[in-house]
């Protein structure tokens, strides 16, 4: 299993992501944003968290113009698996690989803390090791995590089982930290090979550091 | 030639920053404030003498990068 991790200027979670997948036994490779192709031996490409291009203009907006994003589009269109975490999720929506957009948090604050999430759908590679309605504890750290999609788009997400995770409390009741439509924290595309979420599963790999609930999520990509 | 691009959240998409500014103004006694919207203004100097062509190019820039049309609308003004 080989995982490529995209690095833009301002990305800052690439090494955490590398560490997380290495801990699961994967081979990893950092992919600089100027690369014009995705190496053919990649089983998964991760757009990691951070502040690509300082979040100038809009989070993820300038990153989408990088050469590697053209290659990533082709890779995804050919069925390649892609995971966008936090800023990576913003980049994937800006690029159009995932529907919707991420707006400024409703309360305008940057939120950095552990948050509970409920698994909504698990018929996909990412969450196949989690149970539907299972509550996981995963850190969030974002300023622009307020997921927006119009009513028609939302219906389509539900109809195709593309809603993956919702923000809840520890008991699984909706608890929306940032104003996201229907408290949505993560989604996938229609063909279920492109995934995006604002929370950071790669920061939940060790029980000693608060939670290891991210392991089962990332493990879903292995031997999928 | 200069292009002035105004980018705002679409009607119906909650403008949290606008609401915060509105509350702050109301809280400071500016009773006549009914609504506030916060947007961005992008000013582009161009090597272009044809206003219609300039506007077309800037519209393309808006669609590609300057606005996220999922949540934002844009207006373009061309100045000589």
* Catalytic residue list of A: 86, 200, 202
Contacts of A64 in chain B (CB under 8 A): 65
Q: Which residue is listed with tokens 């300023």?
A: A143
Closest in A61, A65, A149 to B68, CB measured = A61
Q: For chain B, say whether A1 makes contact (Cβ under 8 Å).
A: no
Its pTM stands at: 0.95
* H and E: helices and strands count for chain A: 5, 11
Instruction: Judge contact between A49 and A10, C-beta under 8 A.
Output: no
* H and E: helices and strands count for chain B: 2, 3
| B2-79 maps to CATH 3.30.1280.10 | yes
In degrees, to the nearest 5, what angle opens at C-alpha A193 toward C-alphas A188 and A198?
40
Does residue A224 register a pLDDT over 90?
no
Structure tokens at A176: 């929306």
For residues A181 and A168, give the distance between their C-alpha atoms in angstroms, rounded to a whole number: 13
In tens, the pLDDT along A39-77 reads 999 999 999 999 999 999 999 999 999 999 999 999 999
Phi, psi at B8, each rounded to 5°: -135, 155
- Residue B40 distance to chain A (closest CA, Å): 9
In tens, the pLDDT along A112-161 reads 999 999 999 999 999 999 999 999 999 999 999 999 999 999 999 999 99
Inter-chain CB proximity B17 and A65 less than 8 Å: no
Contacts of A107 in chain B (CB under 8 A): 16
For residues B44 and A153, give the distance between their C-alpha atoms in angstroms, rounded to a whole number: 33
Task: Name the residue ranges covered by the structural domains of chain A.
Answer: 2-219
Inter-chain CB proximity B68 and A101 less than 8 Å: yes
pLDDT at residue A223 in the model: 85
Q: What is A2-219's CATH number?
A: 3.40.50.880
Inter-chain CB proximity A65 and B65 less than 8 Å: yes
């Amino acid at each position: 299993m080989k995982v490529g991790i995209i690095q833009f200027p301002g990305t800052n979670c690439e090494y955490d992501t590398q560490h997380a997948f290495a801990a699961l036994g994967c081979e990893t490779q950092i992919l600089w944003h100027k690369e014009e192709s995705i190496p053919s031996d990649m089983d998964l490409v991760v757009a990691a968290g951070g502040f690509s291009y300082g979040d100038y203009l809009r989070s993820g907006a300038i990153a989408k113009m990088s050469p590697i994003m053209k290659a990533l589009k082709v890779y995804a269109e050919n069925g390649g698996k892609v995971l966008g975490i936090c800023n990576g999720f913003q980049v994937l929506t800006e690029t159009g690989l995932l529907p919707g957009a991420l707006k400024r948090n409703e309360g305008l604050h940057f939120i950095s803390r552990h948050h509970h999430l409920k698994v909504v759908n698990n018929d996909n590679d990412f969450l196949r090791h989690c149970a539907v309605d299972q509550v996981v504890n995963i850190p969030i750290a974002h300023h622009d995590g307020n997921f927006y999609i119009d009513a028609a788009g939302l219906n389509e997400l539900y109809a195709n089982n593309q809603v993956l995770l919702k923000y809840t409390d520890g008991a699984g009741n909706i608890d929306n930290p940032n104003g996201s439509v229907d408290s949505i924290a993560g989604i996938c595309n229609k063909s279920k090979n492109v995934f995006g979420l604002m929370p950071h599963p790669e920061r939940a790999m060790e029980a000693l550091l608060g939670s290891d609930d991210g392991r089962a999520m990332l493990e879903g990509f292995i031997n999928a | 030639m200069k292009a002035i691009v105004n980018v705002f959240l679409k009607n119906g998409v909650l403008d949290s920053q606008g609401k915060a500014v509105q509350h702050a103004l109301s809280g400071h006694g500016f009773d006549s404030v009914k609504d506030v919207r916060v947007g961005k203004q992008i000013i582009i100097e161009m090597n272009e003498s044809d206003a219609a062509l300039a506007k077309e190019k800037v519209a393309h820039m808006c669609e590609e990068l300057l606005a996220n049309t999922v949540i934002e609308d844009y207006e373009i003004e061309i100045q000589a």
